[in-house]
Amino acid sequence: MPFEGKPLSPQRRRFLQDAARASGGCVVAGSMLAWLARDARALPAEALRPPGALPEEAFLSACIRCGLCVRDCPYDTLKLAELGVDAVATGTPYFTARDVPCEMCDDIPCVAACPTGALDPALDNIDDAEMGVAVLVDQENCLNFLGLRCDVCYRVCPVIDEAITLEMAHNERSGHHAMFIPTVHADHCTGCGMCEKSCVLPEAAIKVLPARLARGSSADHYRKGWEEKEAKGGPLVEGLIDLPDRLPGPGTDNLAAPGGFAPAYDLPGVGQ
Amino acid sequence: MSARTHMPAGMEAIEEKGWVRAHKYLLLRRASQLLFLAVFLLGPWFGIWIVQGTLAGSLTLGVLPLTDPLILLQSVIAGHWPELTALVGGVLVLAAYALIGGRVYCSWVCPINPVTDAANWLHRRLDLPKGWQPKRSTRLWILATVLIVSGATGVIAWELVNPITMLHRGLIFGAGFVWAMIIAIFVFDLFVSRHGWCGHICPVGAFYGLIGAKGLLRVSAPNRTACDDCMDCYAVCPENQVISPALKGKSGSTPLILSPDCTACGRCIDVCAVDVFKFTHRFDDKVAAPTDPVPAPDPRAARPI
C-alpha cells in the first residue's frame, strides 16, 4: 500500500539510521565501560589507600591518577597500580602493609600533594587517619597467644597503648603464667600497617584489613545500659526493685560453694 | 593528475627540498613529543625534578599545577568537586589549548601519536586497504558516552581505558601490561582501521578539538594556486577531510584550514613539493596572487613513474 502525502526523505532515513547505529554502538561501548567501572571498585583487602583517601566509591570519582602522592611519599610506601599486574584500579595509589607500611608522617605529604582532594585535605592529624583496621587474625599462631612475650606489634605501633594494648589473661595451659594479649582498639587504629609489617611470623598473625571487613557495626537502637546509667547518675527507670544477682561465690547458689543449691548427685572434687 | 600521483607520498618533496626540509615539522613534532616525555622522566630517571606527576595531573617546579581538563570534567560529572589546585591546573590547560588550538595536543604532546603515526606509516608502505572507517563524528559520540558513564557509575570512566595516560604513567611509574594495549592500538590502526584510533575513536582528541575550535594556530594554503594535485598531503594527513575546503576552495574562500579536526601536525607542509601550505594564525587569510596560467613545473613533468 503506497504512502499518502509527501514521500519520505532519503536524507531523513539516512539520518535516522546513522543516529540509531551510533547510539547502539554507544550503548554497547558504554555498557562495557560501566562494567569496567564496576570492576574497578573491587579493591583487594590487602591493598590499602593512602591516609585521608575518600571512601572507595568517592575516591574513584576524585582520583585523577597523577601519582603526585606517590612522588611526595618519603618512604616509597605508596605505589600506583599497574595495568594487569595489581588488582587495584589502574593508576590509583595504594600500599601493601606487609611490604612497606605507612610511616604516618606528621605533615602528611601525600595529602598535601593531592591536587583534587581525593585525599581529603581536612585530615590534619595523621592519628585520625582511617586507612584500615588491624585485626589479630590468627590467635593460634600469635606468639603472645602461645604465652610468649613477643609484643612486637604492640611495641612498633605508632599509637602504642591506644591502638594496641596488651591485655593480661590467665594462661590456662601452664596454669600459673600470664598471657599478654595484643588487643586492637579500632577507634585509635589508623591502619598504618606497622604491626603487620613487623609481625615476626613468616605470615603475619596481625593484619590490616579495610574497615568494611574488619569491623562489625552496632544496630542503631542498641543502648548500653551501664553507660547510660552512668551518664544519668542513677537508674534509668525509677521504682525498679533491684533483686539480688545470682553471682558465683559463697552465699549464692554456686554449685561448688556451701549454702547454695545442692544437686542430688556428687560433683567430682566437691566435699560432701 | 599525473605520473607523480603514483610516487610514494613525500618523495617528490624530498627530491625538491631535501630530506630535512621535507621532514621539518615531523622532526620538530618528534622533538616536542620527546621533550614533553623527557621533562616527566628526568625526575624518576635522573633525579632532576622539573615536573612531577603525569599528563593527568602534574606539578612543575613545585608551583605550576596542570591538570587534564577532560579528566576533571569527568570527575565533576562523577560527583566530585575538585580542590582549587586541580581546578586552576585544568583552567590553565584549557586556556592554553583554546588559545593555540586544541588538537595541537594530539600531534605535538600525546605519547600515543608516535604509535599511530608508525602504524599509519607502515599502513602506507604495505599499501593496505583503509578498512573500517566509521564516521568522524564517532569520537564525539564516544565522548558523550564517556561523560554519561562517568555520571552513571561515579567513576572517572575514560581513565579505566585511556591509553594516553596509561602509556605515559606506565613509562614514569611502571608499565604492567600497558604494552599489550599499545600493540592493540598499533594493530587496530594498521589492519582494522586506517587512522582508526586518533581519527575516529579517541574522545580525548575529540574533546581537544572542541575546546580548540577557535584556536589561533592554523595551517593555511595561501599558495593553493600552485597545487599540482599530487595528493601527497591527502595521503599523509591524519584528518584529510580538513584539506579540501582550504586547498580546493573557490577563489575568494579562505585558504585557512579551519576545521577543529586539524591536528596542526604540519605534515602537509612537509610533503608539499610546491610549498602550498604554511603555519599561520587564523586571521591571516591572504592568498598568493594567482599566476595565470599556472606554469607547468618542468623538472617534475618529465619524471618517469
3-state secondary structure B122-167: HHHHCCCCCECCCCCCHHHHHHHHHHHHHHHHCCCHHHHCCHHHHH
A65 vs chain B: nearest CA distance in angstroms?
Answer: 7
Residues 54-93 of B with CB under 8 A from A: 54, 56-59, 65, 67-68, 71-72, 75, 78-83, 85-86, 89
Task: Give B-chain residues touching A29 at CB under 8 angstroms.
Answer: 142, 145
**What torsion, rounded to 10 degrees, do the Cα atoms A189, A191, A192, A193 define?**
110
CATH of the domain at A183: 3.30.70
Q: Hey, which of A183-197, A227-241, B246-260 has the most confident mean pLDDT? A: A183-197
Kindly state the average pLDDT of the residues B121-128: 92
* Judgement on whether residues A157 and A197 belong to the same structural domain of the protein: yes
What distance in Å separates the CA atoms of residue A100 and residue A70, rounded to the nearest whole number?
A: 13
Q: What is the pLDDT of residue A260?
A: 47
For position B300, what pLDDT does the model report? 53
> A158 and A207, same structural domain?
yes
Mean confidence (pLDDT) of chain A: 87
Looking at residue B252, what DSSP letter applies?
A: T
Q: Are B51 and B43 in contact (CB under 8 A)?
A: yes
B115 inside 8 A of chain A by CB? no
**Contacts B86 to A, Cβ<8 Å:** 64, 115-117
Do residue B176 and residue A121 have CB atoms under 8 angstroms apart? no
Which residues from chain A sit within 8 angstroms of residue B135, using beta carbons? 18, 22
Structural domain includes residue A2: no
Query: Could you tell me the residue range of the domain that residue A173 belongs to?
Result: 133-213
- More confident: B174 or A206: A206
By mean pLDDT, which of A101-105, B172-176, B256-260 is the weakest?
Answer: B172-176
Write the CB contacts of B272 (distance below 8 Å, at least 6 apart in sequence). Answer: B13, B232, B233
| Closest CB from A25, A71, A91 relative to B159 | A91
Whether A119 contacts chain B with CB within 8 A? no
The predicted-structure confidence for B85-105, as pLDDT tens digits, reads as follows 999 999 999 999 999 988 999
* Reported pTM: 0.85
Is A270 among the domain residues? no
Contact between A58 and B154 using a beta-carbon 8 Å cutoff: yes
Looking at the structure, do residues B69 and B156 belong to the same domain, yes or no? Answer: yes
Q: Residue A256: its pLDDT value, please?
A: 53
With CA atoms as reference, the chain A residue closest to B72 would be A64
Query: How far apart are the C-alpha atoms of B300 and B7, rounded to whole Å?
Result: 11
Of A191, A213, A235, the last residue of a domain is: A213
Q: Which residues lie below 8 Å from residue A56, measured CB to CB, with a gap of 6+?
A: A41, A43, A49
Residue A223 has pLDDT above 90, yes or no: no
pLDDT band of residue B115 (cuts 50, 70, 90) is: very high
Both B206 and B65 in a single domain? Answer: yes
Count of domains observed in chain B: 2
Supply the pLDDT for residue A265.
56
B243 lies in a domain?
yes
Contact A23 B141 (CB under 8 A): yes
Domain span at residue B69?
A: 52-211
A–B: how many Cβ contacts below 8 A?
163
- Asked, for residue B72, whether it belongs to a domain, the answer is yes
Both A105 and A165 in one domain: the answer is: no
The complex scores an ipTM of: 0.86
Least confident of A157-166, B72-81, B229-238, B282-291: B282-291
User: Which of B181, B211, B241 corresponds to the end of one domain?
Assistant: B211
pLDDT at residue A272, as a whole number: 46
A167 plus A187 within the same structural domain: yes
Q: Which of the listed residues A63, A95, A128 is the one where a domain comes to its end? A: A128
Mean pLDDT of A63-72: 94
Considering A172, A191, A213, which residue would you say is the last residue of a domain? A213
What is the number of structural domains in chain A? 2
Task: Give yes or no: residues B141 and B201 share one domain.
Answer: yes
Give the type of residue at A187. D
What secondary structure does DSSP assign to chain A, as a single string?
-PPPSSPPPHHHHHHHHHHHHHHHHHHHHHHHHHHHHHHHT---TT-BPPTTBPPHHHHHHH-----HHHHH-TT---EEPPTTTSSS-TT-EEB-TTTS-----TT-HHHHH-SSSSB-TT---GGG--S-EEEE--TTT-TTTTT----HHHHH-TTBTTTEEEEEEEETTTSSEEEEEEEE-TTT-----HHHHH--SSS-SEEEE-HHHH-----TT---HHHHHHHHTS-SSTT---PPP--SSTTTT-TTSTTSPPPSSPPTT---
Shortest alpha-carbon distance between residue A125 and chain B (Å): 19
